[in-house]
Amino acid sequence: MIGCEMPFENIFPYTIGKYAKEHKIPISATIELTPFCNFNCIMCYVRLNPEEASNQGELLSKDKLLKIAREAKEMGTLYLTLTGGEPLSRPDFWDIYEELNKMGFLISILSNGSLIDEIAMEKFNEYGMPYSVKLTLYGASNETYKRVCNSENGFTKIENAVKLLKENQVPLSLTATIVKENADDLREMYKITKNWGVRFYHTISVVKSARGSVNTAETSRFAFDEFAHHLSLEQLEMHKFKHPEFPFSWCSGYGKSFWLTWNGHLQLCAFMNGPYTLVDSGLEKAWKELNEKLEALKNPTECENCKYSEFCQRCPGMLCAESSDAETVSDSVCNTAKTLYLIYQNKLKEEKT
Ligand code: SF4
Ligand code: SF4
């Protein structure tokens, strides 16, 4: 799905995923270590300031996190992604990382890269290198970083992080979210990452802020349909979807992964802030209850006979982020589907005449 936050590193062999889903084993987990970040990106849907965070609950302590991780290990979790906010900005990050590594997880880290410096590499050398790192690239210069992330020398720092991670042969990929404020850098970003020899891809998908933070999604993001006019009929065909009978028919994470928020909500993914369960009475119970709640979700009634459905890339997570409810349609999602449908119909007519 467009905008799906299921971390790239969680793509594991099909057979493992299939087995995990059939047996409801959370083979893959993501833990948000913090809602705080040393950047302040305009399009971020998760970063909070201390006051906003205090309205959303309490940060899970190191001991609670490690207890949950031990339970996850017992339940079969193998792939563990650490994210934030900026995970490395958490003061006890290294204590947590050391313990998680000892538990035997294959740990991936999602980071802005600014804190992966020579000192961090010494720690990784001491505690064990991560299984993979995915860095977010926000632009091709320090000026763009200042504009988009309000960060000084952000580009110089990520350049150094890439160099250090490559020297230590850590599997690395870079991703960018392209908004109006950094779109002029896109060509240069591809050039630079090619020179660095690192896999890079970008998305224009920006969701509204789902969990109490404030972002500029509605003014900064590009509408996918703005590009659709340039697509050929064949390319538009590739954007067709079969109507999902079950809301999670096309979801890569459902039934085999979970996302633990910094304040202890167990949910399916970053965007699915409802339904969620609480881990206070143990992960196994919370996981079971979460899957029961997800299983009970239905497609929005409007979608059942919608003629735009085949061009609609909705999923419960996207609906949740855009309309605050996984079963409620959102104007932005519907308008994109409708525009794609109309462009497709016009191109079809043109071809026939
Ligand atoms: S509901 Fe599934 S497909 Fe949608 S964003 Fe979440 S993980 Fe991705
Ligand atoms: S366009 Fe709107 S009503 Fe139609 S399938 Fe998509 S979300 Fe549902």
Q: Give me the pLDDT at residue 73, please.
A: 98
- 108 CA to centre of ligand 2 in angstroms: 34
Q: Residue 65 above 60 pLDDT?
A: yes
Candidates 261, 291, 315, 330: which one to mutate for ligand 1, based on the most atoms within 8 Å of Cβ? 315
CA 337 to ligand 2: nearest atom: 1
Q: Give me the pLDDT at residue 272, please.
A: 87
Torsion of CA 206, 212, 214, 219, to 10 degrees: 40
Distance from the Cα of residue 54 to its chain's centroid: 23
Identify whether residues 51 and 62 lie together within a single domain.
Answer: yes
Q: Give me the pLDDT at residue 9, please.
A: 46
Whether residue 84 contacts residue 77, with contact meaning beta carbons closer than 8 Å, is answered with: no
Q: Is residue 140 part of a domain?
A: yes
- pLDDT tier for residue 46 given thresholds of 50, 70 and 90: confident
In short, whether 340's Cβ falls inside 6 Å of ligand 2 is no
Q: Give me the pLDDT at residue 225, please.
A: 64
What span, in angstroms and rounded, lies between the C-alpha atoms of 319 and 7? 19
Q: Residue 215 above 70 pLDDT?
A: no
Identify whether residues 289 and 328 lie together within a single domain.
Answer: no
Q: Give me the pLDDT at residue 52, please.
A: 85
Q: Residue 111 above 80 pLDDT?
A: yes
pLDDT tens profile 228-245 = 777 888 888 887 888 888
Whether residue 88 contacts residue 112, with contact meaning beta carbons closer than 8 Å, is answered with: no
What would the DSSP string read from start to end of 123-137? HHHHH---SEEEEE-
- 299 CA to centre of ligand 2 in angstroms: 10
Name the helix (H) or strand (E) containing 177: strand 172-177
Identify whether residues 137 and 175 lie together within a single domain.
Answer: yes
User: Alpha-carbon torsion 194, 197, 203, 207, what sign?
Assistant: negative
Q: Residue 79 above 90 pLDDT?
A: yes
Question: Which residues neighbour 222 within 8 Å (Cβ) at sequence distance 6 or greater?
Answer: 178, 179, 180, 183, 204
In short, whether 272's Cβ falls inside 6 Å of ligand 1 is yes
Q: Is residue 130 part of a domain?
A: yes
Name the domain boundary from 296, 318, 333. Answer: 296
Cβ-count burial 144-168 (b if 16+ within 10 Å, e if not): bbebbbebeebbebbbbbbebbeee
What Rg value do the Cα atoms of the chain yield, rounded? 20
Q: What pTM, to 2 d.p., does this model score? A: 0.90
Q: Give me the pLDDT at residue 210, please.
A: 61
Q: Is residue 2 part of a domain?
A: no
The predicted model gives 110-123 an average pLDDT of 98
Q: Give me the pLDDT at residue 185, please.
A: 92
Q: Is residue 88 part of a domain?
A: yes
Q: How many alpha carbons lie under 13 Å from residue 17 in its C-beta half-sphere?
A: 12
Q: Residue 54 above 60 pLDDT?
A: yes
What span, in angstroms and rounded, lies between the C-alpha atoms of 247 and 241? 13
Q: Give me the pLDDT at residue 8, please.
A: 46
Percent above pLDDT 90 for the chain: 65
In short, whether 306's Cβ falls inside 6 Å of ligand 2 is yes
- Partners of 33 in the beta sheet? none
What would the DSSP string read from start to end of 178-223? --TTTGGGHHHHHHHHHHHT-EEEEE---PPP-SS----HHHHPPP
* 3-state class percentages of the chain: helix first, strand second, coil last, to nearest 5: 45, 10, 45
Identify whether residues 114 and 152 lie together within a single domain.
Answer: yes
Q: Is residue 93 part of a domain?
A: yes
Q: Is residue 3 part of a domain?
A: no
Query: Which phi and psi angles does 135 have, rounded to 5°?
Result: -100, 145
pLDDT tens profile 160-194 = 999 999 999 999 999 998 888 888 999 999 999 99
- 295 CA to centre of ligand 2 in angstroms: 20
CA 338 to ligand 2: nearest atom: 1
Identify whether residues 174 and 278 lie together within a single domain.
Answer: yes
The predicted model gives 271-297 an average pLDDT of 95
Identify whether residues 230 and 135 lie together within a single domain.
Answer: no
Q: Give me the pLDDT at residue 2, please.
A: 47
- pLDDT tier for residue 42 given thresholds of 50, 70 and 90: confident
Q: Is residue 1 part of a domain?
A: no
Q: Give me the pLDDT at residue 44, please.
A: 81
Q: Is residue 153 part of a domain?
A: yes
Residue 138, helix vs strand vs coil: coil
Give the closest ligand to the alpha carbon of residue 248. Answer: 1
User: How many structural domains does the chain have?
Assistant: 2
Identify whether residues 85 and 42 lie together within a single domain.
Answer: yes
pLDDT tens profile 8-35 = 445 567 788 889 999 999 999 999 999 9
Q: Give me the pLDDT at residue 115, please.
A: 98
Identify whether residues 336 and 270 lie together within a single domain.
Answer: no
Tokens describing residue 140: 């091709």
Neighbours of 125 (CB within 10 A): 10
CATH code of the domain in which 194 resides: 3.20.20.70
Q: Give me the pLDDT at residue 342, please.
A: 92
Residue nearest to atom 2 of ligand 2 (CA): 334
Identify whether residues 282 and 212 lie together within a single domain.
Answer: yes
What span, in angstroms and rounded, lies between the C-alpha atoms of 226 and 237? 17
Q: Give me the pLDDT at residue 211, please.
A: 66
**Owning domain of residue 233:** 224-247+298-353
- 254 CA to centre of ligand 2 in angstroms: 21
CA 309 to ligand 2: nearest atom: 5
Identify whether residues 306 and 202 lie together within a single domain.
Answer: no
Average pLDDT value over all residues in the chain = 90
Residue nearest to atom 3 of ligand 1 (CA): 251
- pLDDT tier for residue 214 given thresholds of 50, 70 and 90: low
Q: Residue 344 above 80 pLDDT?
A: yes
| Helix (H), strand (E), coil (C) string for 52-119 | HHHHHCCCCCHHHHHHHHHHHHHHCCCEEEEECCCHHHCCCHHHHHHHHHHHCCEEEEEECCCCCCHH
Is the previous residue joined to 300 through a cis bond, with omega within 30 degrees of 0? no
Q: Among 141, 138, 111, which Cα is nearest to 203's?
A: 138
Identify whether residues 196 and 134 lie together within a single domain.
Answer: yes
pLDDT tens profile 312-323 = 989 999 898 888
Identify whether residues 234 and 269 lie together within a single domain.
Answer: no
